[in-house]
């Protein structure tokens, strides 16, 4: 597989990760489609295992998200800056402290954004709890699953 093709798959996966944070964009499906395309072109045993594993994980994630309370993001005060901080925190945390760091980084990003906006620890903690109750948990579940798929793909692509 050529270098430009790897960059294209990585770009679609990055769009999928960003799509998880943007309401209405099918982020997990973009990540899965990129994995499918890569697997169909690489045609190795590892590629098929990753495709099957990512398919199972993303389907399980959709079931878990369906069981969580519905997202009510309108009245909570979620901003684009908060979503950017949460996403960047999750991505950074995922690579600094594998897997668990994504959760810490996501919540930390929300808290950091609210701390800058509101100024104090108490109001920022209350706002962070409100965001997580309003739909942050479902976004976190989808983002973590997509990060796992992207991380597995990166490991396979680097491996060769």
CA gap 114, 117 in Å, rounded:
5
Quote the pLDDT of residue 121: 93
Tokens read off for 160: 């060769």
Cα separations (Å) of 75 from 54, 72, 78, 134? Answer: 33, 7, 8, 9
Per-residue pLDDT reduced to its tens digit, 8-59: 999 999 999 989 888 788 999 999 999 999 999 999 999 999 999 999 999 9
Cα separations (Å) of 36 from 49, 62, 136, 154? Answer: 11, 18, 28, 14
Residue 95, φ and ψ in degrees, nearest 5: -90, -25
Quote the pLDDT of residue 4: 87
Cβ atoms within 10 A of the Cβ of 56, count?
A: 10
pTM for the complete prediction?
Answer: 0.83
């Amino acid at each position: 597989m050529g270098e430009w093709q790897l960059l294209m798959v990585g770009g679609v996966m990055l769009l999928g990760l960003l799509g998880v944070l943007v309401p209405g964009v099918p982020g997990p499906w973009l990540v899965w489609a990129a994995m499918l395309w890569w697997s169909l072109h690489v045609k190795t045993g590892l590629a098929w295992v990753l495709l099957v594993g990512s398919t199972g994980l993303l389907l399980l994630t959709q079931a878990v998200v369906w069981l969580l309370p519905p997202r009510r993001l309108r009245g909570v005060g979620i901003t684009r800056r908060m979503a950017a901080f949460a996403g960047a925190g999750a991505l950074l945390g995922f690579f600094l402290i594998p897997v668990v760091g994504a959760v810490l980084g996501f919540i930390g990003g929300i808290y950091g954004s609210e701390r800058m906006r509101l100024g104090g620890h108490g109001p920022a903690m209350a706002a962070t709890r409100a965001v997580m109750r309003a739909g942050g948990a479902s976004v976190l579940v989808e983002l973590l699953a997509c990060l796992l798929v992207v991380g597995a793909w990166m490991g396979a692509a680097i491996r060769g």
